[in-house]
């Protein structure tokens, strides 16, 4: 095997000597062959900072059309991670692109310094000591914690090469920022847009605070289901003449028996067909399509249908709560389905979004006998008994 050709050799070609490396058209550059990024990148970033590159870009683009990225801030509750880094880098790409396209595209970074992400971190650090501190002292510690991670994250973002107004970011805990929020609230208040009302929200029992839907993680959960009857106290003949003088009950099925103390209504679908069936002298109202399944589940024998009518006839009917001194109103709702149950939906506006929405429509009380710690307090009319005792009675009621 011949020796390999060395390209720095002069190879005689006939009567002419040729320098092979001069036959290749290579660019002339002062860049070194090795990148040496570990050494060069910090020097480049330092030069940007020394020359105040960001300020020079702002001056060069002054007066040009604006293009502003309003950056949702990260929490100041720890070091940056892959997610925060990727978020910031991608946004930096866009801002720099718009700058190169000729726009005046400033970037003002900021940090969210309030809320549970910071409070939880401080709780973990304080441990039992927290019980000995005042609320003001805890807030001061949270502020100090947030300020620490603002500085650490800012240093890391600069190290990633992100350009921005790092010397003057916005912080949600700054006096200026909070004063603007307060001013905006007063303006909204003066215009009459602020009101006090009730609304169903996700609630964290541990932290005793409302949670956004995006903060909720769901998992499968199995709950015992119960059938509960509500005695009709309004004129049964108004629903159908065949019910005059009869002992009539609205019948619901629910997988959340703990919400029964908060029941204030029974919802029916206006277009579904319902039947009144007699079982052992009592009459129960059930959606016709769910009658057979209900009868089988409850062990009804010898039942017979005595009337049929649309759900719209049940609007305004008055039922009695099974164990509290309170009425339950017959209402209509398109959220009622025939998938399972009885075609009648137990409605507690203080315990669910659909119930809340239909409750607002009908002006129902938004009643929720649960305190911020997730514990039931005594429901009115329950004679001081605990909800567990009341629910045990409800689940064991005679439906046959």
Q: Quote the number of domains for the chain.
A: 2
Query: Are both 155 and 249 inside the same structural domain?
Result: no
Per the domain annotation, does 76 fall within a domain?
A: yes
In the sheet that 318-320 helps form, which strands lie side by side, from edge to edge? 304-310, 273-279, 282-287, 248-254, 226-232, 318-320, 327-332, 265-268, 344-347
Counting beta carbons within 10 angstroms of the beta carbon of residue 264, is it exposed (0 to 12), middle (13 to 18) or buried (19 or more)? buried
Query: Are both 364 and 293 inside the same structural domain?
Result: yes
Query: Are both 150 and 237 inside the same structural domain?
Result: no
Average pLDDT across the chain, whole number: 89
Confidence of residue 393 (pLDDT cuts 50, 70, 90): very low
Per the domain annotation, does 211 fall within a domain?
A: no
Query: Are both 262 and 339 inside the same structural domain?
Result: yes
- Look at residues 374, 366, 379, 375 and name the one whose alpha carbon lies nearest to residue 196: 366
Residues 6+ apart with CB under 8 A from 6: none
Indicate which CATH number applies to the domain containing 142: 3.40.50.620
List residues bridging with 111 in a β-sheet: 171
Indicate which CATH number applies to the domain containing 391: 3.90.740.10
Query: Are both 170 and 230 inside the same structural domain?
Result: no
Q: Is the pLDDT of residue 93 over 60?
A: yes
Of 1-5, 41-45, 372-376, 379-383, the least confident: 379-383
Per the domain annotation, does 31 fall within a domain?
A: no
Per the domain annotation, does 376 fall within a domain?
A: yes
Per the domain annotation, does 15 fall within a domain?
A: no
Query: Are both 177 and 245 inside the same structural domain?
Result: no
Per the domain annotation, does 391 fall within a domain?
A: yes
| pTM strictly above 0.75 | no
pLDDT tens profile 123-170: 999 999 999 999 999 999 999 999 999 999 999 999 999 999 999 999
pLDDT tens profile 263-305: 999 999 999 999 999 999 999 999 999 999 999 999 999 899 9
What do you get for the CA distance between the two ends of the chain, in Å? 102
pLDDT tens profile 341-380: 999 999 999 998 999 999 999 999 998 888 888 787 765 5
Cα gap 7→19, rounded to integer Å: 8
DSSP letter assigned to residue 117 = H
Domain boundary among 164, 183, 202: 183
- The residue segments making up the domain with residue 338 are 226-395
Domain boundary among 183, 218, 248: 183
Is the dihedral angle over the CA atoms 71, 193, 178, 144 positive or is it negative? negative
| pLDDT of 215 | 79
3-class DSSP assignment, residue 14: coil
Rounded to an integer, the average pLDDT of 9-27 is: 70
Is the dihedral angle over the CA atoms 228, 234, 239, 240 positive or is it negative? positive
3-class DSSP assignment, residue 397: coil
Query: Are both 85 and 179 inside the same structural domain?
Result: yes
Confidence of residue 38 (pLDDT cuts 50, 70, 90): confident
Cα gap 185→179, rounded to integer Å: 10
Query: Are both 175 and 242 inside the same structural domain?
Result: no
């Amino acid at each position: 095997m011949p020796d390999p050709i060395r390209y720095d050799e002069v190879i005689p070609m006939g009567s002419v000597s040729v320098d092979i490396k001069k036959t290749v058209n290579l660019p002339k550059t002062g860049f070194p062959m090795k990148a040496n990024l570990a050494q060069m990148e910090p020097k480049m970033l330092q030069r940007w900072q020394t020359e105040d590159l960001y300020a020079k870009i702002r001056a060069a683009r002054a007066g040009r059309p604006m293009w502003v990225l309003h950056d949702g801030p990260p929490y100041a509750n720890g070091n940056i991670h892959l997610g925060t880094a990727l978020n910031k880098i991608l946004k930096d790409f866009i801002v720099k692109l718009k700058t190169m396209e000729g726009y005046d595209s400033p970037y003002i970074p900021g940090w969210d310094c309030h809320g549970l992400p910071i409070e939880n971190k401080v709780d973990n650090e304080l441990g039992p000591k927290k019980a000995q501190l005042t609320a003001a002292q805890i807030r001061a510690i949270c502020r100090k914690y947030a300020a620490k991670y603002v500085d650490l994250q800012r240093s890391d973002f600069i190290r990633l090469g992100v350009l921005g107004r790092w010397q003057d970011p916005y912080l949600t805990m700054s006096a200026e920022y909070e004063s603007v929020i307060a001013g905006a609230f007063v303006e909204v208040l003066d215009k009459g847009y602020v009101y006090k009302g009730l609304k169903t929200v996700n609630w964290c029992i541990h932290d005793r605070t409302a949670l956004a839907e995006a903060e909720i993680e769901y998992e499968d959960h199995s709950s015992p289901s119960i059938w509960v009857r509500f005695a009709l106290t309004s004129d049964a003949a108004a629903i159908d003449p065949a019910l005059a003088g009869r002992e009539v009950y609205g019948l619901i099925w629910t997988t959340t028996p703990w919400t029964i103390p908060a029941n204030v209504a029974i919802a029916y679908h206006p277009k579904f067909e319902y039947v009144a069936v007699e079982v052992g002298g009592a009459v129960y109202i059930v959606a016709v399509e769910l009658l057979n399944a209900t009868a089988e589940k409850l062990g009804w024998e010898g039942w017979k249908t005595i009337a049929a009518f649309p759900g719209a006839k049940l609007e305004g009917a008055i039922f009695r709560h099974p164990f509290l001194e309170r009425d339950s109103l017959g209402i209509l709702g398109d959220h009622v389905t025939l998938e399972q149950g009885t075609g009648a939906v137990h409605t507690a506006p203080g315990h669910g979004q659909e119930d809340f929405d239909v409750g607002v429509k009908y002006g129902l009380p938004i009643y929720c006998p649960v305190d911020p710690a997730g514990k039931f307090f005594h429901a009115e009319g329950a004679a001081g008994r605990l909800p567990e005792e009341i629910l045990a009675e409800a689940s064991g009621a005679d439906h046959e």
